[in-house]
Structure 1
Amino acid sequence: MVELNLKQIIDRLNQEFTGEVRKLIFWYDDNADFKDDISSVELENAKIYYLKEDNQFYTKYYLEKEDTITNYLIYAPFSKPDVKDNHLEDILLYSKRFYADRASLLSVDLGIDEKNKHVIEKHIKFFANKERTQRFYDLEIENFNRKNILVGLLSAICKTKICSFEEVLRIVLTDGEIEDNKFLKEMAKYDLVEDFWRLCEQQFGYVDDNPTLEKLIVTLFITYTDRFIDGEVPVPWRSFVSSKQGNIIAFLDGLMNNIMYHDYYNSLSEKISVGLKVENSFSKNEAERLVKCDTFKHFDKIIISWIIGRLINEDVGAKLNDLSIPELCDVRKKMHFGDCFKNDYEMLENAYYIISNVNYNVSDSLDKIIEQYKESDYIIDSCYRRFYYSLDMIEDTTEYESLQSLIENIYTNEYLNELLPKWNKCFSGKDGLNVIKLQRNFYRNFVNNTKEKTVVIISDAMRYEVGKELFDIMSDDPKCKASIDMMMSVLPSYTRLGMAALLPHSELEMTNDYKVLADNVLCNDLAGRAQVLKKYDPESACVQFDDIKSLKKQDLRDIFTGKQVVYVYHNQIDARGDESKTEDEVFNACREAVDEIKTLINRISTNANTYRFIITADHGFIYKRDKITESDKISGVNGKEAWINRRFIVSNDAINDTGVCNIGLGYILGNDDQKVISYPLSSNVFKVAGGGQNYVHGGSSPQEMLIPVIDIKMEKGHMETKSVSISLVSMIQKITNLITSMDFIQSEPVTDTMKSTTYRIYFCSEDGESISNECTYVADSRELDSQKRIFRLRFNFKNMKYDKDKQYYLIIKDDKNEIEIFRHAVIMDIAFADDFDF
């Protein structure tokens, strides 16, 4: 940073006095700032002559007669006299003046040409502060012209890291108030406000006799909208459309897509939306015009309303701009406000799939019913679950009430009421237990013959479609080999019986007081189950998920060391669904169950040297959001000596009533038990006391009885990791210097699952020719504070002719695999002449 000090002055004077020709240099020190210091100055090739106001004649004689050989610095601690009063004026004609003012020193120190020194002089007040001046120096501007100097001054005021007007405007709009902006006030102190608005005109086409930030923002947003909607913007907006669309799009895209400024864009968009009355400017029937535009949130609301209308009319073939409803939802989710409406679009996607099955059909053959469920029907249940999972995440669902009613009607009347009667008709036949593997044979079929240490995770009420979601997620893990099978649960599809069936046993029975025994052992708790399991495998254990989920590495390892089989009991879904106060949270519980099991598998495989897992369930469930009406209840079951549940009755006698099926318990368990299981033919329930009606299980349906068996083998010694990423922070669209510094950010800190990565960053032409040095950066920061993960790289560009009409690119590559992960287009506008074309 430049300072008015003697050393700097001496260095400059010594440069002036080089050469063989005699030189005379006059220094008029107007304020006598250096009067006390001049005596200590020693020049290498000149002497100092002290000029006084009353010795001009002698000085003239001395310099032209007495000593005509020596170089002299003629120092005068006063201002230069007017020409008529200056007797040395003729000597000044063939000598040189020396200036020690701040503007001159700054110009020399920075390499600013004399013709641009007036810009520094005009704004010299800016350089009165050392910190402010240092910020200007830190911008490392090269090839100074009037424009670069002014942008540099504005950049220093806004404390940007680079000399860029885009960065200046970004700071002004995101870090200050719009009406009373602190940066504009600061610019006014140094006579820079007019230059700020001229740059807005030059780069963004904003022209206004009385410019304001609010009108500038309106120009930016309306111009962006004009570019991406089909047709013209509303008539009152058209005067705001700028001719500099490209620059505006690049600028607003930079705000939208940058993780550091994303929220600022949303705030500006909301403010301008209110001011422009966007809701009144675009009607609901203009959705087709807005498919590609995401300037304002309201555009998504219009598109969502259009989708709702089509779905309510069951028009699943409807399209906008040749996009089907699922395609449209997918496109909008990836646009700027996709995060804000993610739940809405996902809810609509799932509604679309359910409505697409309005003419649902199923076979009369059990094996075909099961095959169809395994291949496609499970998706209907999954979409119904995801529909409500997303709907429950939306704050105001008023607009979706009609759609919700339609979904309920289709799911219950078109799907369940078509599927379940056919299922039960086939299931009660002679081949009901001969189509797929049975739950009561689980240990023999899946566990008994394995030579590997195996963890069996039994997730209470994880029905097939939830298990399929877990399977799909695990299959995406490169360290995991997964397969999925299906088996038929016992009936009643209830916890006490299903848990017993999953244990190894020779005999499974239900006592007359409806307790369940495996090999004569009561196994309705952990101790009983462990006793049964140890009989068949002494090196085994039974544990509760809640008891191990937070264990430290060594404690977790101690549980699994020396064990051949460990049964882990997980209860997330059933625990929430069986409680009347939380049954509507059951779909949230399904998502949480998948996440918990995935995490547990990774923890055990990483920390406990166990790599094979089998995930299954005791039973599934049926859930419907609409409250069950009295017409959906089968009455007349209370008072019987029986085990009575909403979805089943176990008793000595069959219930012969319309809509009720009966099957022998002995047939289900493979013994001679004479008790009878009665269950609803459809999704109806028995009328019993107590709360909880939406979530049910125990009956006979694919949702309750078809349960997953997921076999997983994890790769030994492999831990799931991802590479940390880096992204551009500096909002730079144009390169104007041969040396340019840019800021990047390491998006995530390095952790045990996020690994450090080396990146190579450089610039190239559209033909792939490198035009800069290549920077290598190792992204290995563990800082939690994102600001501390920002880093700066400096690029030196080739001194060559660049075509401003061609594209050049910033490239980021993963050094390990040479994969390009980022490409950012820039304009190369390196000029060596003053191009400040206001």
Structure 2
Amino acid sequence: MSSQTMTSAEVLKTVRERRQSHWYPIYRDIYKAIGYATEFQQALAEATLSMTSPAEGVKRYVSSWFKIDQLYRKFIYHMQKSGQASLLGSLFESVENRYTTNFLLTVNDAWQDQIAKLSDWSVPRYAKQTDFYRDHAAKYRRRDQKVVVIVSDALRFEVAEECQREIRKLSRYDAQLKPMVSTLPSYTQLGMAALLPNEALTLSGDAAVSSFGEPTQGTVNRQKILGKGRAGDTAKAMKAEDFMNMKAEEGKALFRDHDILYLYHNRIDIIGDKLATEDRLTEAAEDAIEDLTKLVRKLTTANFSNILITADHGFLYQHRPLDQSDFSVADPTGSEILFKNRRFVIGRGLNETSGMKKFSSAELGLSGDLDVLIPNSINRMRVKGAGSRFVHGGASLQEVVIPVLKVGKRREADVGKVDVQIIVPGRSLISSGQTAVTLYQAQAVSEKQQQRDLLAGIYANDGTLISDEHNLTFDFASENARERELPLKFLLSREADQFNDQDVFLKLRERIGKTSHYEDYASHRFQLRRGITTDFDF
């Protein structure tokens, strides 16, 4: 059998057309995996992975490069969900190799060249994580407005961008995403402390962090630190799941009794940070997006209208187990090695080490006399028993570019559905056992212009169905009008013979809410004029 190569455009067109097939629901995740893999390879081919400054690196990452991480994650998720990893094995190897070598390594090697020039940890023109409370949360309090901050552990920028789109799909909701640069090392204890009001952030030898000279680990300590933000504020810190379990009146009482609320959400990190479960990272990211969308809705029901979503750090993730070459060769040395994980070392009097960047506490904007070593690019250190596919703590773009997602609610509904039109080539005449039409989606799908699901068939004037029916989903996101056209053929049934030489109607029908009833959305009149019954009848 000869092999045939398809262009990316042809693959995506085929996937779009297969969505209308009878068997699509069974193979949905296979098709989605193929689609995301194709988009991934397109995006990678179009990317120029270079930069001339740290600021340019961040700018290019949040403008376009993040999409490559996102498409890779979506491919892995649907490949796993399909249960057909062996069928998609060759495609996975191609995507994985390109993602690791042509993207992750390439972009972070270029980023490392910029980091090597830094005398301290900051990126000009981009906000620091340590300024989050002052620049965002406290901004509402200075206007005497209540605010809630959701801190989602390891919600990296690209996951937050998808979350933004999901929130914007909700009627009357808006969300604006901006990047922020995390502290280094990019790990939970430091990131969580940096998001609170802070003063003299200090690392200890076991990687714990103090602020104002007090511990910051756990919700009780964080609530105490939060209370130092603005004199007179009533502050509350709690787990997001505890808020979700509240009754409606309890949520409203929480709003009434507090000026500032910090909710801690942990879906991604708790799965990714364990060796036994790190391969479920992409599923955890999907769950996190769903969690956060539900959390936003419940918060607004409880009268919270100023909502900020952010993260303590991002992460690196490669689905295939790592090669030995992905680990740093040199072992760290110095007066004292106090703490070591895959992506950073804390110690005292640490030596400059090949393949690592050394920072003092002062260079990281921290207090104390400890040093930190960060492996270059995406390299990991060998740590017995720890997972290596999901990591954070280092200085890669994926770890340190974190989101600030500002969510608000509008007074009026602002979500609609795309329009669909019937296009008939030539005369509106059916003279055989089948007829072809084109259905055109007038607008590209967006957060506020959503998909439309229709049932299409040809009907006699008395409502009798005289053709096969098609369940159709119009969710094309392309700005290219030609890519929003759907060619369709209808086969007439034997019942059509009863209505020969009469007017019949192609109808697009739409379900009424969640009921089993339909109403006409659009129709087109045809004249049925067939000479003899054809073999196409069914």
Range class of TM-score, shorter chain:
0.7 to 0.9
Please show how residues 143-542 of structure 1 align to structure 2 within 5 Å.
Answer: 318=7, 323-356=9-42, 357=44, 360-428=48-116, 429-430=118-119, 432-435=121-124, 436-450=126-140, 451=143, 452-537=145-230, 538-542=233-237
- Alpha-carbon distance, 1:812 to partner: 6.1
Per-residue CA shift, 1:628-654, capped at 9, x if unaligned? 222322253499532111000011133
- Which has a greater percent of helix? 1
Give 2:340's aligned residue: 644
Give 2:288's aligned residue: 593
Give 1:61's aligned residue: none
Residue identity over aligned pairs, in percent, reads 26
Output the CA distance in 1 between the equivalents of 2:174 and 2:213: 37
Q: Report the more deviating stretch, 392-401 or 507-516.
A: 507-516
Please show how residues 506-655 of structure 1 align to structure 2 within 5 Å.
Answer: 506-537=199-230, 538-606=233-301, 608-634=302-328, 635-637=330-332, 641-655=337-351
Query: Taking structure 1 as reference, are residues 375 and 740 closer, same or farther at Cα in structure 2, changes over 3 Å only?
Result: closer
- Alpha-carbon distance, 1:368 to partner: 1.2
Please show how residues 720-759 of structure 1 align to structure 2 within 5 Å.
Answer: 733-735=459-461
Please show how residues 793-812 of structure 1 align to structure 2 within 5 Å.
Answer: 804=501, 806-808=503-505
Query: Taking structure 1 as reference, are residues 585 and 453 closer, same or farther at Cα in structure 2, changes over 3 Å only?
Result: same
Q: Secondary structure at the match of 1:808?
A: strand
Output the CA distance in 2 between the equivalents of 1:740 and 1:345: 34
Aligned letter for 1:823? S
Aligned letter for 2:523? R
RMSD: 3.4
Query: Taking structure 1 as reference, are residues 726 and 697 closer, same or farther at Cα in structure 2, changes over 3 Å only?
Result: closer
Listed as ranges, the gaps of 5+ residues in structure 2 are 418-449, 472-498, 513-518, 530-538
Query: Taking structure 1 as reference, are residues 614 and 803 closer, same or farther at Cα in structure 2, changes over 3 Å only?
Result: same
Per-residue CA shift, 1:29-69, capped at 9, x if unaligned? xxxxxxxxxxxxxxxxxxxxxxxxxxxxxxxxxxxxxxxxx
Contact kept in structure 1, 2:316 and 2:391, CA below 8 Å: yes
TM-score by length of 1: 0.50
Query: Taking structure 1 as reference, are residues 475 and 632 closer, same or farther at Cα in structure 2, changes over 3 Å only?
Result: same
Candidates 519, 523, 531, aligned match of 1:823: 523
Query: Taking structure 1 as reference, are residues 740 and 525 closer, same or farther at Cα in structure 2, changes over 3 Å only?
Result: closer
Aligned letter for 1:500? A
Aligned letter for 1:490? T
Q: Secondary structure at the match of 2:197?
A: coil
Aligned length: 449
Output the CA distance in 2 between the equivalents of 1:514 and 1:610: 34
Contact kept in structure 2, 1:509 and 1:669, CA below 8 Å: no
Output the CA distance in 1 between the equivalents of 2:48 and 2:158: 18
Q: Secondary structure at the match of 1:487?
A: strand
- Alpha-carbon distance, 1:425 to partner: 2.6
Per-residue CA shift, 1:537-567, capped at 9, x if unaligned? 4311001012122322112222222211100
In the alignment, does 2:411 pair up with 1:711? Answer: no
- Alpha-carbon distance, 1:474 to partner: 1.8
Contact kept in structure 1, 2:343 and 2:394, CA below 8 Å: yes
Give 1:123's aligned residue: none
Contact kept in structure 2, 1:611 and 1:715, CA below 8 Å: no
Per-residue CA shift, 1:182-237, capped at 9, x if unaligned? xxxxxxxxxxxxxxxxxxxxxxxxxxxxxxxxxxxxxxxxxxxxxxxxxxxxxxxx
Please tell me whether Structure 1 or Structure 2 has the larger radius of gyration of its CA atoms: 1
Query: Taking structure 1 as reference, are residues 814 and 526 closer, same or farther at Cα in structure 2, changes over 3 Å only?
Result: closer
Query: Taking structure 1 as reference, are residues 804 and 461 closer, same or farther at Cα in structure 2, changes over 3 Å only?
Result: same
Output the CA distance in 2 between the equivalents of 1:507 and 1:726: 56
Output the CA distance in 1 between the equivalents of 2:248 and 2:333: 51
Aligned letter for 1:808? F
Contact kept in structure 1, 2:339 and 2:345, CA below 8 Å: yes
Output the CA distance in 2 between the equivalents of 1:728 and 1:421: 51
Q: Secondary structure at the match of 2:264?
A: strand
- Alpha-carbon distance, 1:434 to partner: 3.6
Contact kept in structure 2, 1:471 and 1:484, CA below 8 Å: yes
- Alpha-carbon distance, 1:411 to partner: 1.2
Q: Secondary structure at the match of 1:586?
A: helix
- Which has a greater percent of strand? 2
TM-score by length of 2: 0.76
Query: Taking structure 1 as reference, are residues 454 and 718 closer, same or farther at Cα in structure 2, changes over 3 Å only?
Result: farther
- Alpha-carbon distance, 1:696 to partner: 0.4
Listed as ranges, the gaps of 5+ residues in structure 1 are 1-282, 286-305, 311-317, 748-801, 830-838
Aligned letter for 2:505? Y
Give 1:240's aligned residue: none
Q: Secondary structure at the match of 1:324?
A: helix
Give 1:139's aligned residue: none
Output the CA distance in 1 between the equivalents of 2:453 and 2:89: 43
Please show how residues 651-690 of structure 1 align to structure 2 within 5 Å.
Answer: 651-671=347-367, 673-690=368-385
Q: Secondary structure at the match of 2:350?
A: coil
Per-residue CA shift, 1:739-796, capped at 9, x if unaligned? 9899xxxx9xxxxxxxxxxxxxxxxxxxxxxxxxxxxxxxxxxxxxxxxxxxxxxxxx
Contact kept in structure 2, 1:457 and 1:568, CA below 8 Å: yes
Give 2:395's aligned residue: 700
Contact kept in structure 1, 2:205 and 2:338, CA below 8 Å: no
Contact kept in structure 2, 1:732 and 1:826, CA below 8 Å: no
- Alpha-carbon distance, 1:353 to partner: 3.2
Contact kept in structure 1, 2:359 and 2:373, CA below 8 Å: yes
Query: Taking structure 1 as reference, are residues 689 and 368 closer, same or farther at Cα in structure 2, changes over 3 Å only?
Result: same
Query: Taking structure 1 as reference, are residues 509 and 369 closer, same or farther at Cα in structure 2, changes over 3 Å only?
Result: same
Output the CA distance in 2 between the equivalents of 1:688 and 1:398: 31
Output the CA distance in 1 between the equivalents of 2:66 and 2:454: 40
Query: Taking structure 1 as reference, are residues 560 and 403 closer, same or farther at Cα in structure 2, changes over 3 Å only?
Result: same
Per-residue CA shift, 1:155-195, capped at 9, x if unaligned? xxxxxxxxxxxxxxxxxxxxxxxxxxxxxxxxxxxxxxxxx
Q: Secondary structure at the match of 1:388?
A: helix
- Alpha-carbon distance, 1:348 to partner: 1.7
Contact kept in structure 1, 2:460 and 2:503, CA below 8 Å: no
Query: Taking structure 1 as reference, are residues 432 and 352 closer, same or farther at Cα in structure 2, changes over 3 Å only?
Result: farther
Relative contact order, CA 8 A, sep 6+: which one is greater?
A: 2
Contact kept in structure 2, 1:354 and 1:410, CA below 8 Å: no
Give 2:515's aligned residue: none
Contact kept in structure 1, 2:182 and 2:402, CA below 8 Å: yes
Aligned letter for 1:397? A
Contact kept in structure 1, 2:30 and 2:84, CA below 8 Å: no
Output the CA distance in 2 between the equivalents of 1:814 and 1:405: 42
Aligned letter for 2:402? I
- Alpha-carbon distance, 1:717 to partner: 9.2
Aligned letter for 1:385? R
Contact kept in structure 1, 2:54 and 2:123, CA below 8 Å: no
Output the CA distance in 1 between the equivalents of 2:360 and 2:190: 15
